[in-house]
Chains A and B, each alone.
Chain A
Amino acid sequence: MTKKRTGVFVCHCGNNIAATVDVTKVKDAMANEEGVVFSQDYVYMCSDPGQNSVIDAIKDNNLDNVVISCCSPNLHEKTFRDNAKMAGLNSFTCEIANIREQCAWVHKDKDEATAKAIKISRSAVRRAGRDQALEPIAVPVTRKALVIGGGIAGIQAALDIANAGVEVILVEKLATIGGHMLQLSETFPTLDCSQCILSPKMVEVSRHPKIKLMTYSEVQEVSGSVGNFKVKILKKPTYVDPELCKICDDCASVCPVVVPNEHDLGLTARRAIHIPFAQAIPASYTLDESACLGLNPVRCGKCKDACDVGAINYDMQPQTITEEVGAIVVATGFDLYAQEHMNEMGGGKVEDVLDGLQFERLCSASGATKGHVLRPSDRTVPKEVVFIQCVGSRDPAQHCAYCSKICCMYTAKHARLYKHHVPDGRAYVFYIDIRSGGKGYEEFVQRAMEDDGTIYLRGRVSKLYRKNGKVRVLGTDTLTGQNVEIDADMVVLALAMEPSKGTGEIAKTLKIGRDKDGFLAESHPKLKPVESVTAGIFLAGCAQAPKDIPETVAQAGAAASKVIGLLSQPTLSHAPTVARVRNSHCSGCEMCVTACPYNAIHLEHGKAVVNEVLCEGCGSCSATCLRAAIEVKNATALQIHEMIEACLA
């Protein structure tokens, strides 16, 4: 075997690397390495001249493989592997030595950092020397998408994907699509009716020939990878045939069970058999099994007797449906931070202290009070209302560290809506800062103050409690330095937004990451804001971070366009750096099968077999195997051994 000819290219990254690492020294050290026939440094290797110099050097020096000492392979591995390919090499014979994130950025001492950069580069040279030429694996694509979550984000994503001619399965946990947006009365900054703008989209979803709507369903299991996911969806029984149901309400009127209505946040009640609201999609009743007196054996059976069309079937069973899709959009939305966590705000136990969504239901024409603002305790018109912002948000010590972003705007909206309903009432807003960035947003807040006379008090509320039929609010106005005491008829808390319940489970099912606050993590905060860390899975709406409706719709559209782009390719190319089994060493102990996070390994005749399409080359199997019987191509035991040796030398 003739010796491989290796070229090394060391990047300054402006001053990012050069400030802490003596780049020239690294270049010179590499020139002396065995097998290195060319070594060069350049200020920005990823710039056009930098890339061209790599291509030219490969051709001029007849290089077999190249090492680029630069930033993380996450950023430019593809760039330089493409360069290698353009110069006629196999792209997998190009290796990146990360001397920026793993060296320059984390050290201060220049001599030591330089010595480390040399070791990192040297180990990459040794690895590259044993790289095999590999060809990408072509994977066929399933032209179908799954959208999880039927709120505005999921609806928009599903419609955009379906309108491009791609089949979509829209899965919603609840009995109707619409999500939280459906609970809102009006929307900022234009004060147009939320339901009026959302309902047409919901109808469009239900009628779209390319959309398969699955409500009252949950994603249970996801396997496979980008282009070819296999999804198991559990369809819970509604006990009502939506085809037959005439939504006449005869069943609900005989149902003896009364439970709080979730759609109205408990401000109204519903029966065990119910329709979330009149315009629900699909337009059908649902029998809430957890509330019903009993289905097996049937304890009551009144609703079935009352139904003239025979739509009610107590024998309906949960169904597990398996679907194959090429891409997934996760739009599982948010929940409000629970009032119970907020002890200084009464912990949810003080009457007439509402959260923002409950107030929306009070203002809504379809809500608990048919659009009249009445306080829940005695159904009188509240004359003094206190709105408190940042409840649970921006409080790293006790609650959520982040800003929930939309509360400033919806509180201003609440104050305005209140003043429109009760013109002689008085509205106070406690705030820390007002964050009204957005088209028409600042003007909207100004109108709340000037046109509608809302009194904005800069300060926090320290305590509130019930006194003489009112809610006494103790706070401070930090601008005047005075303590403030208000006897309010009603208090509305702008509670923080948090990822919806179940986000953790769905993240686990999909194997996508979450950030420190529990929101789904995007792949890159700036450049890949709708991609999850797992290829083929995209994010939309508040599951990723708190955001308002226009932003949610925009992100849903972006996720949809990514899906369409992905599914418009005939095949996908899969990295060939996958695991390989050495049969002679494999004892069939199955430890790699358990360790594989992608279910890519199974046993055949007592030996492990890798499904190369599913394998992501993570190396978990290789690390688990006690017999070194499985290793990842181009990260073989020999290569790792040599890399360690190079570092220790």
Chain B
Amino acid sequence: MINIQDMRDTARGLLTKKEVRAVIGYRRSTNGMLAEPVVITDPAQADELIWDPTCFHNLSLYLVEDRKFLTHVRKTADAPIAIVAKGCDARSIVVLMQEHYFERKDVYIIGMSCEGSGVLDERKLAAKGIRATDAAFDGDDFVFATAQGEQRIAAREVMADRCLECREPFPKEHNAVLGENKTGRELNAPFTALHRFEELDAGARWKFWEHQFERCIRCFACRSVCPMCYCEECVVDSISFPVTGQTSAEEKANRVRWIERSATRPENMTYHMTRVLHLAGRCIDCNECERVCPVNIPLRLLNNKMEREAREEFGYEPGASIGGPSLTASFLDTDPGKFIR
């Protein structure tokens, strides 16, 4: 069981000694029980930090934002930035370092073990008809403050699917870590949700996705929230084509428009397929894309599919090690090459 005060002390210590220039963490939002991301630079702010079942955001996104900002203002960082990271978040930081987006010395990881539980799935809580104003971890339970008083619910009843299926709730890559290492805990078998979906036949699955992509409004929230979608120019998006001094007139005139701007089904499908392929071997299943989707498209199914292929065909786990090879850039002589036969 994590004592929140320990996390606050760690953050305060780092800021006081100026070992880091900021701490990215969570604080209580003004909107009810939910946590929201916060960047603190003053040791006095450390007491604002919280740790509860609503800390679902993958904060590594803000490391990317920080790096983008520094590049934009042409500055280099004078000290690392600290970040509160769950097991999954730490893996996404590893992927970013694997891709040299920043270096290990640029980040101070305050690892938070999810121990035996994980984060809340708001939809599951709403389905139970519970309206809470506060949430807290308590062993295997979540404790909610409601108008009717305190309500205790077994965590696994309202936990996010990804947490139920998580194999590594402990942040392996860290500078400091809080909580016990309960790696290997099995709540649900990996890819349970995917397996359930794949019980449908191909025709039914196609229909399902046709329906889902019909609904996509191309708001790009999934892309904006994804720490792996850090490209300056997204290949699906010709609007943000960056024009620099070296861009030739020919290039400007001939930029490729792989996807049209209109949010029609085939275009939406191409967008999501491209995204899922670009995330293969990089997505660490933080599921922020699905969480932020305003029309509730189950994007996790797509990302999970790629993750399972990579694991089963190539024994590849994204975010396993900083120096490890990336999935799509490396070739094994033992490649089964099944798709070709």
Contact = CB atoms under 8 A, between A and B. Distances in A.
A585 B240 CA distance: 12
Nearest to B230: A587
B258 A587 contact: no
A587 B232 contact: yes
B231 A627 contact: yes
B234 to A, nearest CB: 9
Interface of A: 130, 508, 582-585, 587-595, 597, 606, 624, 626-628, 637-638, 641
Interface string B318-339: 0000000110111101000000
A584 B235 contact: no
A591 B326 contact: yes
Contacts of A582: 251
Interface in B68-125: 99-101
Given A638-B256, A641-B256, A584 B329 contact: no
B235 A590 contact: no
A627 B99 CA distance: 13
B313 interface: no
Contact of B100 (A590, A597, A628): A590
A589 B99 contact: yes
Contact of B244 (A130, A584, A624): A584
A357 B100 CA distance: 56
Contacts of B328: 591, 595, 624
B221 to A, nearest CB: 20
Contacts of B247: 584
Contacts of A583: 244, 246
A626 B254 contact: no
A76 B207 CA distance: 47
Query: At the interface, is chain A mostly helix, strand, loop or mixed?
Result: loop
Contact of A587 (B101, B244, B251, B331): B101
A606 B101 CA distance: 10
Contacts of B256: 628, 637-638, 641
Interface of B: 99-101, 230-233, 235, 242, 244, 246-247, 251, 254-256, 258, 278, 325-326, 328-331, 333
Nearest to B243: A584
A624 B235 contact: no
Given A624-B328, A638-B254, A587 B333 contact: no
A627 B235 contact: yes
Given A587-B101, A588-B100, A590-B100, A626 B232 contact: no
A588 B67 CA distance: 13
B329 A595 contact: yes
B235 A589 contact: no
Given A583-B246, A584-B242, A589-B99, A627 B329 contact: no
B147 to A, nearest CB: 48
Given A594-B329, A594-B330, A595-B329, A584 B100 contact: no
A82 to B, nearest CB: 28
A592 B325 CA distance: 11
A627 B100 contact: no
Contacts of B246: 583-584
Contacts of A594: 325-326, 329-330
A189 to B, nearest CB: 41
A3 to B, nearest CB: 14
A589 B278 contact: no
A587 B235 CA distance: 14
B254 to A, nearest CB: 5
Contact of B99 (A584, A591, A597, A641): A591
Query: At the interface, is chain B mostly helix, strand, loop or mixed?
Result: loop
B326 A587 contact: no
B100 A585 contact: no
17 contacts: A583-B244, A583-B246, A584-B232, A585-B231, A585-B242, A587-B231, A589-B100, A589-B101, A590-B100, A591-B326, A591-B329, A594-B326, A595-B330, A624-B328, A627-B235, A628-B256, A638-B256
A626 B277 CA distance: 9
Contacts of A624: 328-329
Most-contacted residue by chain A among B244, B254, B255, B329 (CB, 10 A):
B329
Shortest 6 CB-CB contacts between residues of A and residues of B: A589-B99, A594-B329, A591-B329, A595-B329, A584-B244, A641-B256
A592 B330 CA distance: 10
Contacts of B232: 584-585, 587, 627
A595 B251 CA distance: 26
A628 B329 contact: no
Given A587-B101, A590-B99, A638-B256, A626 B325 contact: no
Nearest to B232: A585
A640 to B, nearest CB: 9
A592 B329 CA distance: 7
Nearest to A626: B278
Contacts of A595: 328-331
B131 to A, nearest CB: 42
A429 B159 CA distance: 77
B253 to A, nearest CB: 9
Nearest to B277: A626
A628 B235 contact: yes
Contacts of B255: 638
B327 to A, nearest CB: 10
Nearest to B96: A589
Contacts of B230: 587
Contacts of A606: 100
Contacts of B251: 582
Contacts of B326: 591, 594
Contacts of A591: 99, 326, 328-329
Contacts of A584: 232, 242, 244, 246-247
A281 B251 CA distance: 63
B138 to A, nearest CB: 42
B139 to A, nearest CB: 41
Contacts of A641: 256, 258
A637 B325 CA distance: 25
Given A589-B100, A593-B329, 11 more contacts: A583-B244, A584-B242, A587-B230, A587-B231, A589-B99, A594-B330, A595-B328, A595-B331, A627-B235, A628-B235, A628-B256
Most-contacted residue by chain A among B101, B231, B247, B325 (CB, 10 A):
B231
Most-contacted residue by chain B among A130, A583, A638 (CB, 10 A):
A638
Given A638-B256, A641-B256, A587 B325 contact: no
Nearest to B244: A584
A638 B256 CA distance: 5
Contact of A508 (B99, B233, B325, B333): B333
Contacts of A626: 231, 235, 278
B233 to A, nearest CB: 6
Contacts of B278: 626
Nearest to B279: A626
Most-contacted residue by chain B among A582, A588, A597 (CB, 10 A):
A582
B233 A587 contact: no
A236 B87 CA distance: 47
Nearest to A583: B246
Contacts of A587: 99-101, 230-232
Contacts of B235: 626-628
Nearest to A637: B256
Nearest to A589: B99
B103 to A, nearest CB: 11
Contacts of A585: 231-233, 242
B101 A627 contact: no
A4 to B, nearest CB: 14
Contacts of A588: 100
A593 B251 CA distance: 24
B324 to A, nearest CB: 10
Contacts of A592: 329
A597 to B, nearest CB: 8
A350 B290 CA distance: 68
